[in-house]
Amino acid sequence: MSKTDRKQIAFLGTGLMGAPMVRCLLKAGFPVTVWNRDPAKAAPLVSDGASQAQSPVEVVTGADVVFTMLTNGAAVADVLFDKGVADAMAKGTIVVDCSSIAPPIARENAAKLADRGIRNLDAPVSGGTAGASAGTLAIMAGGDAADVEDLKDVFAALGRVTHVGPSGAGQICKLANQQIVAVTIGAVAEAMVLVEAGGASRAAFRDAIRGGFAESRILDLHGARMVERNFVPGGASANQLKDLDAVMAMAEDLSLTLPLTREVRQEFRDFVDQGGAEKDHSGLLLHLEKLNPKTGKTS
């Protein structure tokens, strides 16, 4: 990549997902300036080649592409509009919001940015911290197809992008993704409880069914977490619950009945209320073990 065609990238939000995404962009040769609400989370990226800004307005000044990877819709709106970021960006800048937020908020943000001459893609991702580090994220982009095409070199550094429709469509697809993730985590966790109660080895069970019809990334990665009892968050249970709440709100608007999603949302709500908010979403196993003390594992 020559110096003349390198897009100047601003990245707001350098937490569990944002930081490894920034490193992938830097490895691909893009100049990246970072900002995080907690400066200490952005500072380590300087040694990887990033520049660190002290304010969200400073980070977007002169940027061609502005990524946001923030906690929720309120945080995105606060940074873009309350903290003056939208007004500090040049016309024609493309905002790529990788946060997981409600589709109506994504559409509202896109309309507000369009009024300022700024392009917008809602582009949530799937693949967790492992995918973010490896540059193998699945990226679901809603917005103008031409804008997705313009950023194909940028997206290539992060993973595989698919244009899924107009503004808001990326968030809709991410919610559907989160449905599948949550229900599958619940299914794997229940199977682990059943296997343990029946006297079989969870690790051997997981190995035995690999490559069969039950094979999935969830069984691979989250099943391993359950066997190893490693619930350090790659994806926090509080965020999983937030996404499931958004799914059910959307289902209500569309008059849909989603019994599996409704049930697994309640299980995550109970787990979060009982102290599991910051545990990885595979930690739903802990909640199910408490419901089934015969497993012999309750912590």
**Alpha-carbon distance 34 to 27, whole Å?**
15
Number of domains in the chain: 2
What is the mean pLDDT for each group of 10 consecutive residues in the chain (299 residues)? 71 96 98 96 97 96 96 92 95 96 93 97 93 96 97 97 97 95 98 96 97 96 97 92 93 96 98 97 97 74
132 and 236 together in one domain: no
CA 252 to mean position of chain CA atoms: 23
- The residue range of the domain holding 208 is 173-295
Pairing relation of β-strands 137-142 and 125-126? antiparallel
**What CATH number has the domain bearing residue 89?**
3.40.50.720
147 and 13 together in one domain: yes
**Alpha-carbon distance 179 to 240, whole Å?**
9
Which sequence positions are flagged as catalytic? 174
153 and 183 together in one domain: no
203 and 156 together in one domain: no
Domain boundary among 166, 198, 231: 166
Domain boundary among 166, 187, 214: 166
Domain boundary among 166, 195, 214: 166
146 and 181 together in one domain: no
Here the tokens at position 172 are: 């809709």
Please tell me the predicted confidence (pLDDT) of residue 158: 98
108 and 221 together in one domain: no
20 and 147 together in one domain: yes
149 and 184 together in one domain: no
210 and 156 together in one domain: no
**Alpha-carbon distance 140 to 218, whole Å?**
19
Please tell me the predicted confidence (pLDDT) of residue 48: 97
Count helices and strands in the chain by DSSP H and E runs:
16, 9
156 and 185 together in one domain: no
The closest of 233, 213, 245, 217 to 284, measured between CA atoms, is 233
126 and 180 together in one domain: no
The closest of 176, 173, 205, 212 to 188, measured between CA atoms, is 205
Residue type, 11: F
Predicted model pTM: 0.86
8 and 143 together in one domain: yes
Here the tokens at position 37 are: 């609400």
In the block, which residue shows the tokens 């794997």?
188
Please tell me the predicted confidence (pLDDT) of residue 1: 46
